[in-house]
Amino acid sequence: MTGGAAMLTPELVKSIRRLHIRTSRTVDAMMAGRFRSVFRGSGMEFEEVREYSPGDDAKTIDWKVTARMGKPYVKLYREERELTVMLLVDLSASLDFGSTARAKRDKALEAAAVLAFSAVKNGDKAGLILFTDQVERYIPPAKGSAHVFRLIKEILSWRPASRRTDVAAALDYFGKVQRKRCVAFLLSDLMSRDFSRSLRIAARRHDIAAVRIGDPAEGELPPSGLVEVEDMETGELALLDASHRPTRRAYARLREQERQRAETGLRQAKVDLVDIATDGSVAEALTGFFRLREKRFR
């Protein structure tokens, strides 16, 4: 089975417009103008080396040139006029889950729209990688509102070829196609095989933030007797006795261990985490994240 984008129907156009309206207030009031301040250093490009002068930051010393010349030299950088923002969006079947009015996929799309519109509003480039357990679609970074609407249309209309997730495969592909340092947002529920190694490698070059999309009902079983639980990515079914307290505890413990594994990998790679729940506000979560980043660089 192969994936692909649906045709641009009037219904799809309406969905894109509604999403733009819903996210534009967040972009205008809270996000615009902050990309450079909260991702300091991402827009810096190496320019040249010069001889060390008293007062220079020792961290900028170029040790290879210093060894060759016999005296200390430092690297000089210039700030680029624009940033590149890459969105890595998980389209696996587990994102279809939702115990509230909104599924996880809806929240991921809204967050992606806010970030993309914010980037372009600042005159920056935005690109897209849609993935499941394989990379399904790649759109290179570009500028302009028309380009952002194209990205949103692709996320909204793409029909995934697979139901499973492989975050590591998406990160590995991202590292190959995006050699120049950029800002990247990984939008996923992070329910995947271990991706810590791929994340560490990608985070050495790029400034990455993980946006974890969750649902309040994922972490525990309701005490309601026999419950048929389906793995949305494999289709496997399991019958659990949810009235059995040890079973509920074991299920909650397993889910918590999965969360902790992901968080440990993010922490080791020094990647920031933003949690967005289906019953929560995308605007509040992203705004809180940006404010924390601003405080960090003051």
Report the pLDDT value the prediction gives residue 29, as an integer from 0 to 100: 62
CATH code, residues 4-38+82-296:
3.40.50.410
Residue 38 has pLDDT above 60, yes or no: yes
> For position 32, what pLDDT does the model report?
56
151 and 137 in contact (C-beta within 8 Å)?
no
Decide: 189 and 255 in contact? Cβ < 8 Å: no
Position 75 scores a pLDDT of 83
- Report pLDDT for 98: 86
- 155 token code pair: 């996320």
Lowest mean pLDDT among 85-99, 175-189, 283-297: 283-297
Give the alpha-carbon dihedral of 17, 22, 24, 28, to 10 degrees. Answer: 170
**Across 130-134, 206-210, 287-291, least confident range:** 287-291
φ and ψ of 86, to 5 deg: -105, 135
pLDDT in tens, 125-163: 999 999 999 999 999 999 998 999 999 999 999 999 999
- pLDDT at position 16 is 76
pTM: 0.80
Q: What is the CB neighbour count within 10 angstroms for residue 49? A: 17
> What residue segments make up the domains of the chain, in order of their start?
4-38+82-296, 44-79
pLDDT (0 to 100) of residue 147: 95
| Adjacent-strand bridge partners of 214 | 277
- The tokens of 210 are what? 């993980």
Of 19-28, 143-152, 155-164, 237-246, the poorest mean pLDDT is in: 237-246
Residue 243 has pLDDT above 90, yes or no: no
Mean per-residue pLDDT for 266-271?
A: 96
Evaluate the CA torsion angle 111, 107, 212, 132 in order and state its sign: negative
The distance in angstroms from the start CA to the end CA of the chain is 50
Proportion of the chain above pLDDT 90, given as a percent: 49
Q: Determine how many CB atoms are found less than 10 A away from the CB of residue 9.
A: 10
pLDDT value of residue 251:
77
Average of pLDDT values for 181-192? 94
In sequence order, the β-bridge partners of residue 230 are 237
Q: How much is the pLDDT for 287?
A: 87
Q: What percent of the chain has pLDDT over 70?
A: 83
User: Helix and strand tally (H, E) in the chain?
Assistant: 9, 12
In terms of average pLDDT, the best of 25-34, 41-50, 207-216 is 207-216
Structure tokens at 227: 């419950």
Confidence of residue 1 (pLDDT cuts 50, 70, 90): very low
